[in-house]
C-alpha cells in the first residue's frame, strides 16, 4: 500500500513539470435532480489557487499570496447546498443582464419585452433563474508552463427569463504564472437581444475569513463621474461628477472614510456604496484599469481591468448576518466588496448610456483581468 502510493507520487511528479501551472477536475456535489456539479481547480507555481464550479460558472475559492502567507480572498460556501439555498451571487457569472433594468421592461426594434421582476419592481442580474443558477458545461481544460485555463459554456434558449434570442455564452477562466486571473466572457445570438455579463465575486483582500473589514481597504477608481440612482437603485440617467462627494476615488482612499456620510442621499439609497462608476463612455479595445484595491495589512493588491466602460462598486450592503459561509463564518455588511466590470445599469432604457444590444453575427465580449500582487511593506502608496 505504502509502496503503491509512493510510486503514484513519483509518477505524478514525473508527469507534470515542476514549473507548470495545473488544471484538474473534481466533483463538488450534485444538484437535487442528480446532475453532477463539477469543479475545476487551477493552480500556479506562484501560490495561487482558484476553484471554479460548473454551477453558475462561479469562483468558489481564490487563494492568493500575501506578506505573511496565502489566504482565500472570496466569500462563498463549502458545499453546493449553500449555493442552492442562499446564492447571493457569490462568485457567480451573472447574466443575461448584470444589474438592474427598470420595471424589467425594455424595447428593441419597436417591440416591448417584459422580463421577470426579481428585485422589487425591477429585473436584477438576469432574473429569477439567471446564469448564476444554471449548470454550465465544462469544455476545454488545459495547462502549460505559463497558465492554466478552463472554458465553461451555457446555451440560453430564446425567451429564457423573457429575453429574446438564443444566446450561446462562454466563460474562459485563465490563471497565469504572473498572478492574473482572467475571465473572458463571450456571447453570440441568433436574434437581436441585450447582453451584459460580469462576475460577482465578493472580495476581501485581508482574507474572506480574516474578520478584517473591507472598510480598511484602500481603493482607487479612475472615474470622474458615476451614475446616481433612485430609491430602487435605478440610474436617474445623470452622469454626476465625483468631485467633492464620497464617490471620489480618483486618489487612493480608505473605503470606510466616507461610507457613513448620511448627508449624501446616494449613500442612503445604496446603504453604502452600490453604484456604477464611469471609467469610459463606451467599450474599449483593450482591457484598461477600472479599479485598484489594496489591503494595507496583508499587502495584497488587486487591480481590476476590463474592456467594459463601467464598474459597479458594491460594499455587500445586503449581507445581514443571516448567511453562514465557508468555514462556518457568518457574513455581514463590510465583510467583502464586489467590483463588477459592466455596461451601465439599465442601459436599454437610458438613451445617454450607449447600447447593450447584440445582433446576430456579432460577438459580445467582456475581458476581465484580476491582477494580484503583494506590496512590499516599506514602499509608499
Ligand atoms: C449588485 C447590485 C446590488 C445587489 C447585489 C447582489 O452588486 O448592485 O444592489 O443586488 O448585486 O446582492
The one-character DSSP state at 264 is -
pLDDT class for 235, splitting at 50, 70, 90?
very high
Interval between CA 12 and ligand 1 midpoint (Å)? 43
275 catalytic? Reply is no
Whether the predicted pLDDT of 80 surpasses 90: yes
Mapping DSSP to helix (H, G, I), strand (E, B) and coil, where does residue 352 land? helix
Grid coordinates belonging to 169: 455564452
DSSP letters for 285-334: SS-EEEEEEE-TTT-EEEEEEESSSEEEEE--TT-EEEEE-GGGPEEETT
Write out residues with Cβ below 6 Å of ligand 1: 88-89, 99, 124, 233, 274, 312, 314, 318, 338
Interval between CA 88 and ligand 1 midpoint (Å)? 9
pLDDT class for 17, splitting at 50, 70, 90?
low
Query: Which atom of ligand 1 has the smallest separation from the CA of 314?
Result: 7
Query: Which atom of ligand 1 has the smallest separation from the CA of 233?
Result: 9
Count the Cβ atoms, other than its own, within 10 Å of residue 327: 9
Q: Are 275 and 313 in contact (CB under 8 A)?
A: yes
Whether the predicted pLDDT of 14 surpasses 80: no
Query: Which atom of ligand 1 has the smallest separation from the CA of 89?
Result: 6
Q: What is the pLDDT of residue 8?
A: 52
352 catalytic? Reply is no
Interval between CA 124 and ligand 1 midpoint (Å)? 8
Dihedral sign, CA of 322, 324, 330, 336? negative
Q: pLDDT digit string (tens) for 240-290?
A: 999 999 999 999 999 999 999 999 999 999 999 999 999 999 999 999 999
Q: pLDDT digit string (tens) for 95-126?
A: 999 999 999 999 999 999 999 999 999 999 99
Q: What is the pLDDT of residue 16?
A: 53
Q: What is the pLDDT of residue 1?
A: 40
Q: What is the pLDDT of residue 342?
A: 98
d(CA 195, CA 198): 10
Q: Is 239 exposed, middle or buried (0-12, 13-18, 19+ CB in 10 A)?
A: middle
The Cα diameter of the chain in Å comes to 72
Q: Are 151 and 145 in contact (CB under 8 A)?
A: no
Interval between CA 89 and ligand 1 midpoint (Å)? 8
Query: Which atom of ligand 1 has the smallest separation from the CA of 119?
Result: 10
Q: What is the pLDDT of residue 13?
A: 46
Please provide the average confidence, as pLDDT, over all residues in the chain: 95
Q: Is 86 exposed, middle or buried (0-12, 13-18, 19+ CB in 10 A)?
A: middle
- Residue 45, phi then psi, degrees to nearest 5: -75, -15
pLDDT class for 377, splitting at 50, 70, 90?
confident
Q: pLDDT digit string (tens) for 293-317?
A: 999 999 999 999 999 999 999 999 9
Half-sphere CA count of 301, side-chain side, radius 13 A:
13
Residue 168's nearest CA partner among 156, 152, 180, 177 is 156
Whether the predicted pLDDT of 232 surpasses 50: yes
Q: Which of 89, 100, 272 to mutate to test the pocket of ligand 1 (most atoms within 8 A of CB)?
A: 89
Q: Which residue's alpha carbon is at the smallest distance from atom 1 of ligand 1?
A: 99
Q: Is 134 exposed, middle or buried (0-12, 13-18, 19+ CB in 10 A)?
A: buried
- The active-site residue out of 125, 161, 200, 294 is 200
DSSP letters for 8-72: HHHHHHHHS-TT--EEEEEEEEE-TTS-EEEEEEEE-TTS-EEEEETBTTEEEEEEE--TTS-EE
Q: pLDDT digit string (tens) for 179-229?
A: 999 999 999 999 999 999 999 999 999 999 999 999 999 999 999 999 999
Rg of the Cα atoms in the chain: 21
Q: Which of 120, 275, 314 to mutate to test the pocket of ligand 1 (most atoms within 8 A of CB)?
A: 314
Grid coordinates belonging to 306: 476590463
Q: Can you give the length of the chain in residues?
A: 381
Section 36-42 average pLDDT: 98
Q: What angle do CA 99, 214, 199 make, to 5 degrees?
A: 30
Q: Are 305 and 289 in contact (CB under 8 A)?
A: yes
Q: What is the pLDDT of residue 199?
A: 98
Q: Name the percent of the chain lying above pLDDT 70.
A: 94
Whether the predicted pLDDT of 27 surpasses 50: yes
Q: Which residue's alpha carbon is at the smallest distance from atom 12 of ligand 1?
A: 88
Query: Which atom of ligand 1 has the smallest separation from the CA of 124?
Result: 10
Whether the predicted pLDDT of 381 surpasses 70: no
Residue 218's nearest CA partner among 337, 123, 352, 107 is 337
Domains of the chain as residue ranges with CATH? 20-374 (2.70.98.10)
Euclidean distance between the first and final Cα of the chain, in Å? 54
Amino acid at each position: 500500500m505504502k509502496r503503491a502510493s509512493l510510486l503514484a507520487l513519483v509518477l505524478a511528479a514525473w508527469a507534470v513539470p515542476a514549473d507548470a501551472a495545473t488544471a484538474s477536475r473534481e466533483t463538488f456535489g450534485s444538484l437535487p435532480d442528480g446532475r453532477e456539479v463539477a469543479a475545476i481547480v487551477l493552480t500556479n507555481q506562484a501560490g495561487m489557487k482558484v476553484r471554479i464550479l460548473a454551477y453558475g460558472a462561479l469562483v468558489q475559492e481564490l487563494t492568493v499570496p500575501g506578506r505573511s502567507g496565502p489566504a482565500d480572498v472570496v466569500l462563498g460556501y463549502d458545499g453546493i447546498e449553500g449555493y442552492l439555498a442562499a446564492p447571493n451571487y457569490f462568485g457567480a457569472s451573472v447574466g443575461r443582464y448584470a444589474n438592474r433594468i427598470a420595471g424589467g421592461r425594455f424595447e428593441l426594434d419597436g417591440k416591448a419585452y417584459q422580463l421577470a421582476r426579481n428585485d422589487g419592481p425591477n429585473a436584477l442580474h438576469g432574473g429569477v433563474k439567471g446564469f448564476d443558477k444554471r449548470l454550465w458545461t465544462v469544455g476545454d481544460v488545459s495547462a502549460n508552463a505559463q497558465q492554466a485555463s478552463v472554458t465553461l459554456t451555457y446555451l440560453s434558449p430564446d425567451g429564457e427569463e423573457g429575453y429574446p434570442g438564443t444566446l450561446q455564452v462562454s466563460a474562459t477562466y485563465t490563471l497565469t504564472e504572473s498572478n492574473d486571473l482572467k475571465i473572458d466572457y463571450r456571447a453570440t445570438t441568433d436574434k437581436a437581444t441585450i447582453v451584459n455579463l460580469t462576475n460577482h465575486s465578493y472580495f476581501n483582500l485581508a482574507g474572506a475569513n480574516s474578520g478584517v473589514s473591507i472598510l480598511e481597504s484602500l481603493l482607487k477608481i479612475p472615474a470622474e463621474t458615476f451614475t446616481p440612482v433612485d430609491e430602487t437603485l435605478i440610474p436617474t440617467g445623470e452622469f454626476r461628477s465625483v468631485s467633492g462627494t464620497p464617490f471620489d476615488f480618483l486618489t487612493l482612499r480608505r473605503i470606510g472614510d466616507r461610507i457613513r456620510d448620511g448627508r449624501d442621499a446616494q449613500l442612503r439609497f445604496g446603504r453604502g456604496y452600490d453604484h456604477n462608476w464611469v471609467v469610459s463612455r463606451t467599450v474599449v479595445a483593450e482591457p484598461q484599469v477600472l479599479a485598484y484595491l489594496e489591503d494595507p495589512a496583508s499587502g495584497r493588491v488587486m487591480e481590476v481591468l476590463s474592456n467594459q466602460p463601467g464598474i459597479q462598486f458594491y460594499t455587500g450592503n445586503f449581507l445581514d448576518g443571516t448567511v453562514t459561509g465557508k468555514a462556518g463564518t457568518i457574513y455581514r455588511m463590510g465583510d467583502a466588496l464586489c467590483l463588477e466590470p459592466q455596461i451601465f445599469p439599465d442601459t436599454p432604457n437610458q438613451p445617454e448610456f450607449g447600447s447593450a444590444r447584440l445582433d446576430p453575427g456579432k460577438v459580445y465580449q467582456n475581458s476581465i483581468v484580476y491582477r494580484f500582487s503583494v506590496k512590499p511593506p516599506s514602499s509608499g502608496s
